[in-house]
Structure 1
Amino acid sequence: MRPQDDLYRHVNGTWLRDYQLPPDKASVGAITDANDRTLDQLRAIIEGIRVLFLGRGVVVPLVQRRQIHR
Protein backbone atom coordinates (compact mmCIF):
# COMPACT_ATOMS: atom_id res chain seq x y z
CA MET A 1 0.00 0.00 0.00
CA ARG A 2 1.47 3.31 -1.01
CA PRO A 3 1.09 6.18 1.48
CA GLN A 4 -0.37 8.45 -1.17
CA ASP A 5 -3.08 5.90 -2.02
CA ASP A 6 -4.33 5.27 1.54
CA LEU A 7 -2.32 6.74 4.40
CA TYR A 8 -4.50 5.14 7.08
CA ARG A 9 -3.99 1.61 5.71
CA HIS A 10 -0.33 2.31 5.02
CA VAL A 11 0.27 3.26 8.66
CA ASN A 12 -2.14 0.81 10.34
CA GLY A 13 -2.41 -2.03 7.82
CA THR A 14 -0.33 -4.58 9.74
CA TRP A 15 -2.21 -3.93 12.97
CA LEU A 16 -5.59 -4.09 11.23
CA ARG A 17 -4.64 -7.39 9.61
CA ASP A 18 -3.06 -9.07 12.65
CA TYR A 19 -4.92 -7.77 15.70
CA GLN A 20 -7.51 -10.03 17.30
CA LEU A 21 -10.00 -8.54 19.74
CA PRO A 22 -10.10 -10.69 22.89
CA PRO A 23 -13.24 -12.86 22.80
CA ASP A 24 -14.39 -11.62 26.23
CA LYS A 25 -14.20 -7.93 25.26
CA ALA A 26 -16.56 -5.76 23.24
CA SER A 27 -13.82 -3.15 22.86
CA VAL A 28 -10.33 -2.41 24.13
CA GLY A 29 -8.43 0.74 24.89
CA ALA A 30 -6.63 2.64 27.60
CA ILE A 31 -9.72 2.75 29.83
CA THR A 32 -10.45 -0.98 29.57
CA ASP A 33 -6.77 -1.77 30.17
CA ALA A 34 -6.73 0.44 33.28
CA ASN A 35 -9.97 -1.15 34.46
CA ASP A 36 -8.56 -4.66 34.01
CA ARG A 37 -5.39 -3.76 35.93
CA THR A 38 -7.44 -2.19 38.72
CA LEU A 39 -9.65 -5.27 39.03
CA ASP A 40 -6.56 -7.50 39.16
CA GLN A 41 -5.06 -5.30 41.90
CA LEU A 42 -8.31 -5.35 43.88
CA ARG A 43 -8.47 -9.12 43.59
CA ALA A 44 -4.89 -9.39 44.89
CA ILE A 45 -5.77 -7.15 47.85
CA ILE A 46 -8.92 -9.14 48.62
CA GLU A 47 -7.06 -12.43 48.31
CA GLY A 48 -4.35 -11.10 50.64
CA ILE A 49 -6.99 -10.23 53.22
CA ARG A 50 -8.58 -13.66 52.71
CA VAL A 51 -5.25 -15.37 53.39
CA LEU A 52 -4.85 -13.33 56.59
CA PHE A 53 -8.28 -14.44 57.78
CA LEU A 54 -7.63 -18.06 56.82
CA GLY A 55 -4.46 -17.93 58.91
CA ARG A 56 -6.65 -16.99 61.87
CA GLY A 57 -9.07 -19.85 61.24
CA VAL A 58 -11.81 -17.68 59.72
CA VAL A 59 -13.38 -19.19 56.59
CA VAL A 60 -13.83 -16.59 53.86
CA PRO A 61 -15.33 -17.60 50.50
CA LEU A 62 -13.21 -17.10 47.39
CA VAL A 63 -14.17 -13.95 45.46
CA GLN A 64 -14.58 -14.50 41.75
CA ARG A 65 -13.25 -11.81 39.41
CA ARG A 66 -16.69 -10.89 38.06
CA GLN A 67 -18.02 -10.43 41.61
CA ILE A 68 -15.52 -7.63 42.28
CA HIS A 69 -17.04 -5.11 39.89
CA ARG A 70 -20.70 -5.68 40.62
Structure 2
Amino acid sequence: MAVRSEPRWFKSSYSGGSGTECVECAHALDGALVRDSKNANGPVVAVRAHAWQAFIRALRTAKPEC
Protein backbone atom coordinates (compact mmCIF):
# COMPACT_ATOMS: atom_id res chain seq x y z
CA MET A 1 0.00 0.00 0.00
CA ALA A 2 1.34 3.42 -0.97
CA VAL A 3 1.87 5.99 1.76
CA ARG A 4 0.02 9.21 1.11
CA SER A 5 1.78 12.37 2.18
CA GLU A 6 -0.08 15.20 3.87
CA PRO A 7 -1.08 18.11 1.63
CA ARG A 8 1.11 21.21 1.70
CA TRP A 9 -1.33 24.03 2.43
CA PHE A 10 -0.64 27.58 1.28
CA LYS A 11 -2.37 30.93 1.47
CA SER A 12 -2.75 33.32 -1.41
CA SER A 13 -0.14 36.04 -1.78
CA TYR A 14 -3.14 38.39 -1.68
CA SER A 15 -4.08 37.28 1.84
CA GLY A 16 -3.79 39.83 4.61
CA GLY A 17 -1.26 37.88 6.69
CA SER A 18 -2.87 39.13 9.88
CA GLY A 19 -4.92 36.04 10.63
CA THR A 20 -7.84 37.26 8.53
CA GLU A 21 -7.24 34.90 5.59
CA CYS A 22 -10.30 32.95 4.70
CA VAL A 23 -9.00 30.03 2.61
CA GLU A 24 -5.96 27.84 2.12
CA CYS A 25 -5.27 25.65 -0.89
CA ALA A 26 -3.19 22.54 -1.53
CA HIS A 27 -2.33 20.73 -4.74
CA ALA A 28 -3.84 17.26 -5.11
CA LEU A 29 -3.19 14.47 -7.60
CA ASP A 30 -6.18 15.47 -9.75
CA GLY A 31 -6.87 19.06 -8.78
CA ALA A 32 -6.83 21.16 -5.65
CA LEU A 33 -8.01 21.10 -2.05
CA VAL A 34 -9.55 24.12 -0.33
CA ARG A 35 -10.22 24.69 3.38
CA ASP A 36 -10.97 27.44 5.89
CA SER A 37 -7.61 28.74 7.14
CA LYS A 38 -9.06 29.37 10.59
CA ASN A 39 -10.33 25.77 10.90
CA ALA A 40 -7.54 23.50 9.70
CA ASN A 41 -9.29 20.40 11.07
CA GLY A 42 -12.59 21.29 9.43
CA PRO A 43 -14.03 20.17 6.11
CA VAL A 44 -11.97 20.17 2.91
CA VAL A 45 -13.40 20.78 -0.56
CA ALA A 46 -11.76 18.77 -3.35
CA VAL A 47 -11.92 20.37 -6.82
CA ARG A 48 -11.05 18.43 -9.99
CA ALA A 49 -8.18 19.76 -12.10
CA HIS A 50 -10.30 20.97 -15.05
CA ALA A 51 -12.69 22.86 -12.76
CA TRP A 52 -9.81 24.39 -10.77
CA GLN A 53 -8.06 25.52 -13.97
CA ALA A 54 -11.27 27.11 -15.25
CA PHE A 55 -11.71 28.89 -11.91
CA ILE A 56 -8.14 30.26 -11.99
CA ARG A 57 -8.55 31.40 -15.63
CA ALA A 58 -11.76 33.22 -14.70
CA LEU A 59 -10.02 34.96 -11.79
CA ARG A 60 -7.19 36.12 -14.04
CA THR A 61 -9.55 37.59 -16.60
CA ALA A 62 -12.10 39.07 -14.19
CA LYS A 63 -12.37 42.85 -14.03
CA PRO A 64 -12.52 44.38 -10.55
CA GLU A 65 -15.90 45.86 -9.70
CA CYS A 66 -14.36 48.74 -7.76
TM-score, reference length from structure 1: 0.31
Higher strand share: 2
Higher helix share: 1
Question: Which has more radius of gyration?
Answer: 1
TM-score, reference length from structure 2: 0.32
